[in-house]
Chains A and B, each alone.
Chain A
């Protein structure tokens, strides 16, 4: 690099440095504001992790609750059917459905009368 080139580069550098000192006040002010915004964006960004995690956990818990509640509903016995089994006339129906006892029920009055007439006969 020649001396002339070195001198030119040094002159250019000094001139550019002087330019920094002559930065207009309104530009310095806007740069300061831009710096504050940049730093604030980091402060705002950091705490967002906690609410985000808490929200995700809450959604997961609610989702799991809804899912398991639905599954339990699908597999549980239907209470109405249990109640139906206890109704007396259903038992009567089952007895009537058995062919071998039907004759006995048809002649039931006769056997009851017979019992009254001859207590030792039945």
Chain B
């Protein structure tokens, strides 16, 4: 009973961030919700008995694994679409970026616009760079923890993270402080 309450608290604390990470990765609200639900189910059914301190890394590992699965399925779907007549590549999200107004925007508008542009730039990153950036910056995981969540080496995390920061700063250079 106590463990169920602890699990409830843990999941309530991570679910929104997990949803936004999945939505940035997939660009689709329903897919993101499905990914988060799968991750919750797997954590509860397989790892609930583990020490509470392990839930965080395990949950992120499951979540990132589900996001990678989504990418693989999506890649196959896109390939099939190209083979069987769909033909056209999906638009680059950055192409749809709204143009800058000549006048300087108000601070709150600037923040909002920065948020939109950040999301578009994050969505356009390769999956591994996106994961490394979000886990390090937003989730606040260390290099080793991020490597465990992503299922790769610490060296790879550093490389992906560095490339992500470089690409994002380049994309968002209008907002340079």
B-binding residues in A (CB < 8 A) = 4-5, 7-9, 11-13, 15-20, 23, 27-28, 30-32, 34-35, 37-39, 41-43, 45
**A-B interface pairs (CB < 8 A), number:** 88
The 3 closest A-B pairs by CB, nearest first: A38-B40, A34-B37, A38-B44
Query: What are 29 A-B pairs with beta-carbon distances under 8 A?
Result: A7-B177, A8-B165, A11-B177, A12-B118, A12-B137, A15-B115, A16-B134, A16-B138, A18-B111, A23-B19, A27-B29, A27-B33, A28-B16, A31-B15, A31-B19, A31-B33, A34-B36, A35-B11, A37-B40, A37-B41, A38-B41, A38-B43, A39-B4, A41-B41, A42-B4, A42-B44, A42-B45, A42-B48, A45-B45
A8 touches B168 (CB 8 A): yes
B169 touches A5 (CB 8 A): yes
B15 touches A18 (CB 8 A): no
When C-beta atoms are compared, the residue in chain B nearest to A28 turns out to be B16
> Complex Cα distance A31/B30, Å?
11
> Complex Cα distance A38/B8, Å?
9
Known: A11-B175, A27-B29, A31-B15. A39 touches B7 (CB 8 A): yes
A30 touches B33 (CB 8 A): yes
A20 touches B169 (CB 8 A): no
Count of B residues near A, CB < 8 Å?
34
A-binding residues in B (CB < 8 A) = 4, 7-8, 11-12, 15-17, 19-20, 29, 33, 36-37, 40-41, 43-45, 48, 111, 114-115, 118, 134, 137-138, 165, 168-169, 172, 175-177
